[in-house]
Amino acid sequence: MSMVSDARVVRTRDALRQAMTELAEESPLDSITVRAIAARAGVGYATFFRHYADKDALLADVIDALVREFLAQAAPWLMRRDRVGSAKFMCDFVLARLPIYKALIAGGSGETVRGEMLRQTMATMAQAGERRPEGVRDDLVLFQIVSGILNLLAWWLRNLDTVSAETMAEVIDRLVLTPVSTVRHEPPAGL
């Protein structure tokens, strides 16, 4: 019985995440209601609240799923330490999921959502790390990488018609990845 219940929970949560993603592609996040999400997912209004406290909790789950999917697929690039290749992979990953990324980080709620994506990405990367952070410097470097990339992606998503993925990958490398890589090797005094 618990396996049936667990499978049902997984299916319902997947349906709610999918519904949120689809609705975010169609409407600004602020205009999406719990009733609309539940209806799109094919579940009852009360069922929504058995799984999530509110729309923001569901949105956090959608973001977490995107971050985890990205990190799982990006692992080979990150292991190779190919900064431009990693940046290109990231741009292609975003393009493959363009509507949800546009809604999340370039839409009207972009600042709030980017803040949540920053928090969740940092938490997920800290959990996935194979070694313990070396203190303030590692936290600061991770913060700079994630926030810098999210802000550049937000700009790019508003200017897709003028900047290719290849060019954006080079920009991300030159403005974020290369400068941060030098800090990792030679930290400023006091960090």
Q: Which DSSP string do the residues of 143-156 spell out, in sequence order?
A: HHHHHHHHHHHHHH
The pLDDT, as a whole number, for residue 130 is 46
Handedness of CA 116, 118, 123, 125 (dihedral sign): positive
Widest distance between CA atoms in the chain: 59
Name the phi and psi angles at 165, rounded to 5: -60, -40
Res. 1 pLDDT band, cuts 50 70 90: very low
pLDDT digits (tens, 9 = 90+) for 54-82: 998 998 888 888 888 887 887 777 677 78
Query: Which of residues 37 and 188 earns the better pLDDT score?
Result: 37
The pLDDT, as a whole number, for residue 5 is 66
Percent of the chain with pLDDT strictly greater than 90: 37
Q: What is the dihedral of CA 109, 112, 117, 120, to 10 degrees?
A: -140
3-state secondary structure of 138: helix
The pLDDT, as a whole number, for residue 26 is 86
Mean pLDDT of the residues in the chain:
82
**d(C-alpha 104, C-alpha 66), whole Å:** 11
Interior/surface letters 151-178, b for 16+ CB within 10 angstroms, e for the rest: bbbbebbeeeeeeebeebbbbbbeebbe
> Does 128 have pLDDT greater than 90?
no
> Does 181 have pLDDT greater than 50?
yes
Residue indicated by tokens 């030098």: 182
pLDDT digits (tens, 9 = 90+) for 77-104: 767 778 888 899 999 999 998 888 888 8
The pLDDT, as a whole number, for residue 110 is 61
The pLDDT, as a whole number, for residue 190 is 52
Mean pLDDT, range 35-45, rounded to an integer: 97
Instruction: Please list, in sequence order, all residues whose beta carbon lies within 8 angstroms of the beta carbon of residue 105, skipping any fewer than 6 positions away.
Output: 113, 114, 117, 150, 153, 154, 157
Q: What residue spans of the chain are helical by DSSP H? A: 2-26, 34-41, 45-51, 55-80, 83-96, 98-101, 110-128, 136-158, 165-172, 178-185
> Does 188 have pLDDT greater than 80?
no
Residue indicated by tokens 């997920």: 124
> Does 2 have pLDDT greater than 60?
no
